[in-house]
Chains A and B, each alone.
Chain A
Amino acid sequence: MSMRGAGRVLRLRPSRAWATVYPRSFSTAGARFQDGKSAAEERTTHFGFQNITESMKESKVREVFDSVAKNYDTMNDVMSFGIHRLWKDQFVQQLNPGKKSIFSEPMTILDLAGGTGDIAFRMLNHARTVNGDSETRVKVVDINEEMLKEGVKRAHALGYRTEGEDAPISFMVQNGETLEAIPDNSIDLLTIAFGIRNFTDKEKALSTAHRVLKKGGVFACLEFSKVNNFILDQIYRRYSFSVIPMMGQLIAGDRDSYQYLFPSQKDFAGMIRDAGFQLAGKGWQDLTFGVAAVHTGVKL
């Protein structure tokens, strides 16, 4: 898109002066279609309730997750009443990582926005225990080094090597939108759990995912979503827009990282298709009435 480069200006401003409180605005799309004018109309993106410039978001995300890295797991438990563990279990079980027959190659899995490795460890465990495959490897990629450091600690505690070509699990700082260090057509399965909402440019992240996947490779995304039950939706809205940020404040000492907006399941499925994937079935599966959803696309 033509205005993208021109629109990106990194400016330092006093902490929060730039943040307009602008509830429920999906500004990315709007900004893209009005063609580039002046620097004042620089491209903005939503970051929870705050509208900020895209360039700021990246550093903002990093900042936010630095502040929660240590408390992250507690926070997640509280946010989802611990259900996120079940969702993650189901997510991994369904993807069924690991080679299925002696004629198959072990898989190379990339866990994007992998944080402290919650998904990655489940993958390794599933490949080993369910499919008897101890060769399948996971690369955990995150923009935030602090999160990854926690992950390395956990890996060592679990007895996994993290260094060397053939390490079962490795950790790498990368921006998920570009994945510069990951070659084209090199990944069997790319997962992202509770991460896509933080991405400044979701379309770019999706096309990058498409680039790094092999032919036949699978993109799978677990994320909070739109509840499809009216009553639950009312409750959940209150919860996610007031309770979650409040608890974020109390427990992780950071309110901003827990204010999120996300496109509907159908819209997100459309974005996945637009990135060149074929959808699995209708493209997503709701978990717990759509409080979370798994989206799946395949590169064919």
Chain B
Amino acid sequence: MASKTLHRTVRQGLLGYSSRWKLSPTGRLLKNDLTNSRSNHGQSATASGTPYTPEQSAILSAALSHVPTQGFSDSTLLMGVKDAGYLDVTMNLFPQGPFAIVNYHLVTQRERLSEYANSDEWKDLQASNQKFGTTDKIRALCVERLRQNKAIIHRWPEAITLMKYPANIQSSTSELFNLADTMWNIAGDTTVDVSWYTKRGILSGIYAATEIYMTQDKSDRFTNTWAFLDQRLADSKSVGSTVGRVGQYLDYAGHNIVNVLRSKGMKI
């Protein structure tokens, strides 16, 4: 059946990442992931909804505050541990080492975006803008999220390197997908069907590409980054209506990101 092949292509094509979806390809599961993204963190889930215990948050947020000057390294993590009042040996709480700081930033900023969706700022933005469509919302959310990288953007290439380690790639990818899901959810598009995968794939592709672009953007207040984002969104036409155009989008998400970035002079 056409939709089945489509389904598979979508799964396999997205960012060259397939194995994860072979196990749990049902929309229901994904929906659960979306509404309860902390489920894979089991033990540490707390009432406040974050996957981090207060002690872990104290350490990792302290570490994050040293990232602008120290980067994402073991010694940054050690500083976080010491600032929070613990011992050298406490480093063993984080078997993934400095990737724990990267992941903390990813998770907490995604959570922050959900809070932003309840803010007056977001409501005003929608109210003051008659034709604030899905693509506009997605753009606004990408910008809002990318702004949170400003303070550490010069160190972000180190984070990307850590995210690509074999041991970390699964966490990084699923966190990127969580972000895309969160954005679609806020933008009001929560249909779970074949296009769900497609939309998640396209958006995570666009977001990731823009984030990489931003690390090398020297323009004033990142104007070039926002222009780059607009171009990617325009390329994918109206990102809200994707069913039936899967091939085209996949091609975009899967293969063209690298080329697009290269054509912009990115070293990847």
Contact = CB atoms under 8 A, between A and B. Distances in A.
Interface of A: 94-97, 99-101, 103-105, 107, 188-189, 214-218, 220, 273, 278-283, 285, 296, 298, 300
Contacts, number: 72
Please provide the 9 A-B residue pairs with the shortest distance between their CB atoms, ordered closest to farther: A216-B86, A216-B87, A300-B55, A216-B90, A298-B93, A281-B95, A100-B88, A218-B92, A188-B89
Contacts of A215: 85-87
Interface of B: 42-44, 53, 55-56, 75, 78, 81-82, 85-96
B92 to A, nearest CB: 5
Contact of A95 (B56, B92, B94): B92
Contacts of A279: 43
Nearest to B44: A278
Given A103-B82, A278-B55, A296-B95, A283 B89 contact: no
Given A100-B78, A273-B43, A280 B86 contact: no
Interface of chain A, main secondary structure: strand
Nearest to A109: B89
Q: Which of B75, B86, B87 has the most CB of A within 10 A?
A: B87
Interface of chain B, main secondary structure: helix
B94 A300 contact: no
A99 B56 CA distance: 21
B39 to A, nearest CB: 13
Contacts of B95: 280-281, 285, 296
A278 B93 contact: yes
Contacts of B94: 280-281
Contacts of A298: 90, 92-93
A280 B78 contact: no
A214 B89 CA distance: 10
Contact of B56 (A107, A220, A278): A278
Contacts of A105: 87-88
Given A273-B43, A279-B43, A300-B53, A217 B87 contact: yes
Q: Which of A95, A189, A216, A296 has the most CB of B within 10 A?
A: A216
